[in-house]
Structure 1
Amino acid sequence: MGELISLGTAFCWTFTVLSFEAAGKKVGSLSVNFIRLLFGFVFISIFLYITRGYMIPIDASSHTWNWMLLSGVIGFVIGDYFLFQAFVDVGGRISLVIYSMVPPITAILGLLYFDEYLSVQNIIGMTITIAAIILVVIYKEEDHERHPHRMRGALFAMIGAVAQAVGLLFSKIGMGDYSAFAATQIRIIAAIVGFALIITMQRRWPNIKQAFFNKRALVFIIIGSIFGPFLGVSSSLLALQYTSLGIATTISQMNIIFIIPFSLILFKERVNAIEIIGSIVALIGVSLLFL
């Protein structure tokens, strides 16, 4: 069940990336980051009211609230902020290669905190999948731009990866068997406050206001919010209730592979042989995690 949910998470991330990439080109990544959280909060609030009878997780214990708020600050705010800054400093290709360290980091944290021992087959499957993803990322694009802050960008990408891993660990600690959607809402509340502080310090509120009037960008943000903060994040937490941290994060990173056919069909991008081979190898690696 956990592996299947993680696979669904990967599909959600695929649609999220496509939507937010389109929106980000029009209104900027910071505006997309903040507005997606607002829409995600609204969607989850409606879902919780329909399924649980109230819009805010008032039945969550102080233990859950504290850990999920901390998870939201570390995973959503710090993790996403440093990752997006790494995209600027060192480019998307190198950033995503470094970000592929999230699964092994979470696997180590799962072992240390939850005694989540992985079988030899699990380790081989994770290694094959991650190696294939890195291969696809390396050959996905030719980056001819010179980035003046390569060392800083690499450091920021690693900080983003560690923050995401720690955020997931804290989520698993705080959530237990509590509703994954309600737990996600707590994380989003923390993230909204965190990004609001960043926007205030950077004096970017006019950009946020302007983004709301860009109807085309807003449509993409709404679509991305449904598959991202609402379904994607919630399913990623739900998967943690059924499988280990390392396996869940490994499978969910398959969105890098799943996005290839969409790029081919929707954007008419060229797909090279390395990407095809990498995709097949990644699927083989994931299949080992299901066996």
Structure 2
Amino acid sequence: MVGSPLPLFKENPLRRYSTCVELYSGRQLTLYSDKLMAFRGIDKTLGYPLAVSFLYGLPDSYFDWALLWELKSPGSFKGHEVDQAYGKFFPSWSWSGWDSGVEWRLSTISGVLLHVHEWLVTRTWIVWYKGTRGSHEWVWLRRSKAGPSHRWYGYSCGSDDDETDPYGRRRPYGRKTLNRKTEPQATPKEGCLHFWTYTAFFTLSRKSMSGAAFKSSLDPGLHRFGILDSKGDWCGTVVLDKTWLDAVGGTFEFVAISEAKDFALEECDAGRIISLKSEIKRSGIFTMHS
């Protein structure tokens, strides 16, 4: 327990979870397949105060937030190297699938942390399904009809009046209007996420809005790239390892998973926000493979 964040019981459990993952995720194990097994004692300790179950190390009642982890330093995906014959594999959407430490970067989630529950209800929209052997299942299942007790509460339990989606978000168009396109049509595959959302195409750029007076600090090997729309207008940034420098000028499809933002100096030029509405299009079912 020396140096462990677990005794810090006064800290809210979601922060404690992220602290544990940030400390643990970069450690080198003799057997990579033990990565989640070795974390199981910690997730059992944190699972009760969070009122969650864990899916490949991510808390299910905060799933939209949990997916916002980023690599702290350059790393490679190793989840496919784990022995799938024994049910041991880790998907790319979980920190467990990577051989590098991860973090929830403050420049991405600072706005989320003001009121996590409100953000989950009003700034997320995906009905997350997980592939299992033979069927699709919701990542999170309502456990109680009790209302939220504090701003760190996860998804809303909602109601059974058809005015909320399975994650307790208020449906924008009234009763019984769940868009059936949210239901997966692809063949379920264990370890995959199935979901329906928006995508847009952007060009990777070296362009940065950070001036000489401000430079964001990133670990060696990482670089903050600009992204440009079809007209060449700067729209924001993405942090990738420096091997992507060879891909500057290429156009890539970006998948929107939530509205998490913080217009810090490296993200916004003098308060100028460029609308992305012209770039966004509706899309079909997306499957993130392990």
- TM tier, smaller: under 0.3
TM-score by length of 2: 0.22
Return the index of the structure with the highest Cα Rg: 2
TM-score by length of 1: 0.22
Greater helix content: 1
Greater strand content: 2
Of structures 1 and 2, the one scoring higher in RCO (CA 8 A, sep 6+) is 1
